[in-house]
Structure 1
Amino acid sequence: MAAPSHTTSYYAASANDKAFRAPLTNHITADICVIGAGFTGMSSALHLAEQGFKVVVLEASRIGFGASGRNGGQIVHSYSRDIDFIEKHYGQDTGREMGKMAFEGGQIIRRLVDQYNIDCDLKDGGIFAACNSRQLREMEEKKALWEAHGHTQLEMLTPDSIRDHVGSSRYEGGLLDKSGGHFHPLNLVLGEAAAFESLGGVIYEDSAVTQVQEGDKAVIHTATGSVTADFVIVAGNAYLGGLIPKLEQKAMPCGTQVITTEPLNEAQQRELLPQDNCVEDCNYLLDYFRLSGDGRLIYGGGVTYGAREPDKIESLIVPNMLKTFPQLKGVKVDYAWTGNFLLTLMRLPQFGRIGKNIYYAQGYSGHGVTSSHLAGKVLCDAIKGQAERFDIFAGLPQYPFPGGRALRIPYTAMGAWYYNLRDKLGI
C-alpha cells in the first residue's frame, strides 16, 4: 500500500524533507504519547524531549498534513478574541495572565528556528490592513491594547505610508507589527520534527489512533500497534475526527483556501510588497497574502463552514487577489488547495484534561500558528507539574455549538454573513 501523501499545495511541492516515517507496527512504551504531528503536537513533543522525556508521536497521515502544513504562514500575535474581550468576559486576572502569553508563540517559533537551524524562509514584519475608517480606528485601539500589555514593536500606517508596504489602493491604513513575520509552514513543522528526532524522539506516520484507553497508564491503539504511556497529548485539532467525541462537540472544522502564483519577477515583487511583509486585512472573513521565498504571491481566504471542499478554489480566491492587485491580471496560478482550521463558539483556544493524564489543546479559531506553539510549551510545563498557565486556559468555558451538528454550521454561517455585511458597509 502506498504511503499517504500531502495535499497538492505549493508547500508540499517545495518541502525540504519528503521522507516517509514508517507506521507503528508493534507495542511500545513511552513517557508521553502525542497524537498528531502538527504545530501543537510537534511543539509539545519537542519541548518535552528537551526536558529529557521519552516521547512518541503518532500521526494519522504525514507530518504537517493538516492546517500546520497548509496555512498562510504568518506570525500573528494574540488570540482570535483579543485581550480586551478576555478581560471583559472572564475578568481582569484572566486577561492579565493571558496577556502575558499573547506574544510568546512568535518568540517560541523564532527560538526553535534559530536553535535548530530550521530552513523555512522566515522573514520579519506583518501588517493588519484596514479596508475602512472603522477598521483603522480598531487598529489604533489594538496598538494601545497591545502596548499596555508590553508589546511595543508597533507602528500605525496612514493611507500614504501603507503604500510603502503594500502596492494596492484598497487600504486606508493599517498597523505594522515589526515582530510579526512569515515563513514556509510545512518546512517549519518538518524542521521541528527533525529537531525532535535529533533528541531521540520517534514519529510514526500513517498511524491513525483508533482508541485511547484510559487508566493509570493510558494505552493508545492504532490498527497495527499500541503505545503505553504515562501521559497523552491529543493534538489532532480539526483533523481529530471522532476519536474523542466530547472534543468534537465543542468545535467545528472550517475550510480556508489558498492559491500560489507562478514566480514573479523582482520588479513585480517590489511593486506588490516592497518591504516583503505579510498582510492580512481586518475583515471578519479576511484575506491574507505574502511572498514566498522564491518570489510567488501566496494569497488566501474564502472561509467555508463545515469543512466543505470547494469545487474550484481559484474561482473563490482569484477575484479577491485581483481586487487587491489588479496588476496581476493574467498571472498564472500554479497551486491551489484548501485546509481546515477548528473554530470554537467563543473563538478562544480550548485546553483541558480528560481523567488525570490525557491532555488536549485545540480550537485556535484562525490564530493557530502562534497559539499552537505556545500550547506546546504550556502542555510541557503542565506535565512537568507546573500547571498554572495551563489552568488559565483550561478555566475558560468550553461551550458546545447550539443545536449540535445539525445547526452549528448554519448558525455560524449566519453570523459570518452579518459580520461580512458590516465590513462591506464599513460600520
Structure 2
Amino acid sequence: MTEHTSSYYAASANQYEPFPQLSESVTCDVCVVGGGYTGLSSALHLSEMGYDVVLLEAARIGFGASGRNGGQLVNSYSRDIDVIERTYGADAAKMLGSMMFEGGEIIRERIKRYQIDCDYRPGGLFVAMNHKQLEKLEEQKANWERYGNTHLELLDANELKREVNSDRYVGALLDHSGGHIHPLNLAIGEANAIRLNGGRVFEQSPVTNIQHTSPAVVNTAKGKVTAKYVIVAGNAYLGDKVEPELAKRSMPCGTQVLTTEPLSDEVARSLIPNNYCVEDCNYLLDYYRLTADNRLLYGGGVVYGARDPADIERLVMPNLLKTFPQLKGVKIDYSWTGNFLLTLSRLPQVGRLDNNIYYSQGCSGHGVTYTHLAGRLIAELLRGDAERFNAFANLPHYPFPGGRTFRIPFTAMGAAYYSLRDRLGV
C-alpha cells in the first residue's frame, strides 16, 4: 500500500470513504490514468456530462503534486501571455489568453457546487524583489487586463508593507481573483464528487501498460479496464515505462515545503494581515501563506531531477528567515518534498498518443489552476469540440536537449544562470 507522504496536508486531510483497489475486469467509456488534479478534473467534467468514467490512481487520491503543492491559485501559465504572443503569435496568444483565468473559476465553482471544505481564501500577491521585477509586474497587470482580469491592484513598498510584514520587497501586484486552498482536501472533494456523479474511482491501482487498440485496454497488477477512450494524466508520477514518449518531453523536478508550528492569531495576522498567499518573482521562486490553523507554510528550493534532499529545512529555512526574521527560533512541525513536471517551453503539453488516447502534462509549477482547465478541454474534445484543446495541442512539444541522460544537468545549468540574474537584479 502506497500512502501519502508525511506532510501537513496528509495530517490534516478530511476523512473520506476509501476507494477500492481494482481487482477485476471492467468496461467504461473513458479510463483516466492518474488521481491528481488533471485526472480528477477530467473525470469530474466527463461524469457530469453523463460519460461512464473509471479513474485509476496508483497510490492515494492527490498522492503527487496535487496533494503536496503550496496551495496557491495562481492565474495564467508558467510562461505568461506576453511570452506566448512573442513566441507563438497573436492567434495563439488570443486563444490561450481567453482561457488563462478559467481554471480558478472552475475551482471556485467546484468548491461551491460540491461544498468542498478546503479552506479557500481569496487574494494572491506577486512580490517584487527589485525595481526591474516591479516593472515586469506593471507589464503583467496591463497584459492581464487586456484579457479581462479586472481584479488587479499595484502596490508600492509602503502599501505592500501593510499586507506582508517583510522588508524584502519593493512592491507587488495583488490579484484579487487568486487565492489559496488546502490542496489535498480539494482533491479528495473532487474525487467524492466523481463518485457522486456515478464515476468509479480506484486507488492503489498502478497502471502497468496501455494497449493502443480500439477499444483501448488499460492493465493494472490485479485488473484491467477496457475503454473507448483513455486519458493519461500521471504527470511527474507517471514514470518512464507506461508511455515512454511522454517522458522524453518532460522532466520531474522537486520542490520543498515546510510548515511552522501553529502561530498565535496575533503573530499570524502580523505577518500577512489579510491572509493572502504570496510568491516572489525570482526564476527559482519562494512562495508562502498561512494555513487555516495559523501555521506559516513556506516553499521553494527546486531540485532538478526530483531527488529527495536529505534536509528540507536546511534548504528552505534561510529564505523563510530572510523574509520573516521575527520568526527566528520558530519550531517546524512538517517538511516534505513533491515533484512537478517541467517542460522545455514551460508551457503545458496537451495532445494525442493515438486516435483514442489523450494526455495533458507538464504544468511546470503552475498546475493548480491549469489542470482544472485541462479537464474541461479534454471533456470538450470528447464531446466533439476540439478547438480549445487544439490551441494547446498545436504548440510545439520539444524534447529536452541531451535526452534523458543530460536533461537534468543542462536544465540545472540554466537555472543557476537565472538564479544569478535574480540575485544581481538584472
TM over 0.5, shorter chain: yes
Report the CA distance between 1:182 and its aligned residue: 0.2
Report the CA distance between 1:84 and its aligned residue: 1.1
Report the CA distance between 1:17 and its aligned residue: 2.3
Task: Provide the rounded CA distance (Å) in 2 between the counterparts of 1:35 and 1:291.
Answer: 32
Task: Provide the rounded CA distance (Å) in 1 between the counterparts of 2:127 and 2:289.
Answer: 13
- Paired AA for residue 223 in structure 2: G
Q: Which residue of 2 aligns with 1:399?
A: 398
TM-score by length of 2: 0.99
SS at structure 1 position matched to 2:98 = helix
Task: Provide the rounded CA distance (Å) in 2 between the counterparts of 1:83 and 1:426.
Answer: 22
Whether 1:214 aligns to 2:219 is no
Q: Which residue of 1 aligns with 2:372?
A: 373
Q: Which residue of 1 aligns with 2:138?
A: 140
Q: Which residue of 2 aligns with 1:346?
A: 345
Whether 1:267 aligns to 2:252 is no
- Paired AA for residue 315 in structure 1: R
Q: Which residue of 2 aligns with 1:281?
A: 280
Task: Provide the rounded CA distance (Å) in 2 between the counterparts of 1:106 and 1:342.
Answer: 20
Task: Provide the rounded CA distance (Å) in 2 between the counterparts of 1:9 and 1:20.
Answer: 19
For each residue in 1:231-261, what CA deviation from the matched residue of structure 2 results, as whole angstroms up to 9, or x when unmatched? Answer: 0000000000021000000000000000011
Q: Which residue of 2 aligns with 1:249?
A: 248
On the 8 A contact 1:34/1:55 being kept in 2, the answer is: yes
Whether 1:27 aligns to 2:25 is yes
Report the CA distance between 1:19 and its aligned residue: 4.4
On the 8 A contact 1:164/1:275 being kept in 2, the answer is: no
- Paired AA for residue 371 in structure 2: S
SS at structure 1 position matched to 2:45 = helix
Task: Provide the rounded CA distance (Å) in 2 between the counterparts of 1:282 and 1:5.
Answer: 34
Whether 1:119 aligns to 2:117 is yes
- Paired AA for residue 20 in structure 1: P
Task: Provide the rounded CA distance (Å) in 2 between the counterparts of 1:267 and 1:419.
Answer: 37
Whether 1:108 aligns to 2:106 is yes
On the 8 A contact 2:152/2:175 being kept in 1, the answer is: yes
For each residue in 1:398-422, what CA deviation from the matched residue of structure 2 results, as whole angstroms up to 9, or x when unmatched? Answer: 0100111111111111111111111
Whether 1:308 aligns to 2:307 is yes
Q: Which residue of 1 aligns with 2:70?
A: 72
Task: Provide the rounded CA distance (Å) in 1 between the counterparts of 2:282 and 2:166.
Answer: 16
Whether 1:387 aligns to 2:392 is no
Question: Unpaired runs of 5+ in structure 2?
Answer: none
For each residue in 1:123-151, what CA deviation from the matched residue of structure 2 results, as whole angstroms up to 9, or x when unmatched? Answer: 00000000000100000000001011111
Report the CA distance between 1:215 and its aligned residue: 1.4
Report the CA distance between 1:4 and its aligned residue: 2.0
SS at structure 2 position matched to 1:119 = coil
On the 8 A contact 1:302/1:316 being kept in 2, the answer is: yes
Q: Which residue of 1 aligns with 2:231?
A: 233
Task: Provide the rounded CA distance (Å) in 2 between the counterparts of 1:161 and 1:44.
Answer: 40
Task: Provide the rounded CA distance (Å) in 2 between the counterparts of 1:60 and 1:251.
Answer: 20
On the 8 A contact 2:16/2:188 being kept in 1, the answer is: no
On the 8 A contact 1:62/1:205 being kept in 2, the answer is: yes
- Paired AA for residue 90 in structure 1: Y
On the 8 A contact 1:128/1:174 being kept in 2, the answer is: yes
Where in structure 2 are the equivalents of 1:289-304 lying within 5 Å?
Answer: 289-304=288-303
SS at structure 1 position matched to 2:401 = coil
Q: Which residue of 2 aligns with 1:89?
A: 87
For each residue in 1:316-366, what CA deviation from the matched residue of structure 2 results, as whole angstroms up to 9, or x when unmatched? Answer: 011110010001111110000000000000000000011100000000001
Task: Provide the rounded CA distance (Å) in 1 between the counterparts of 2:113 and 2:161.
Answer: 35
Question: Unpaired runs of 5+ in structure 1?
Answer: none
What is the CA RMSD across the aligned residues, in angstroms? 0.7
Report the CA distance between 1:152 and its aligned residue: 1.2
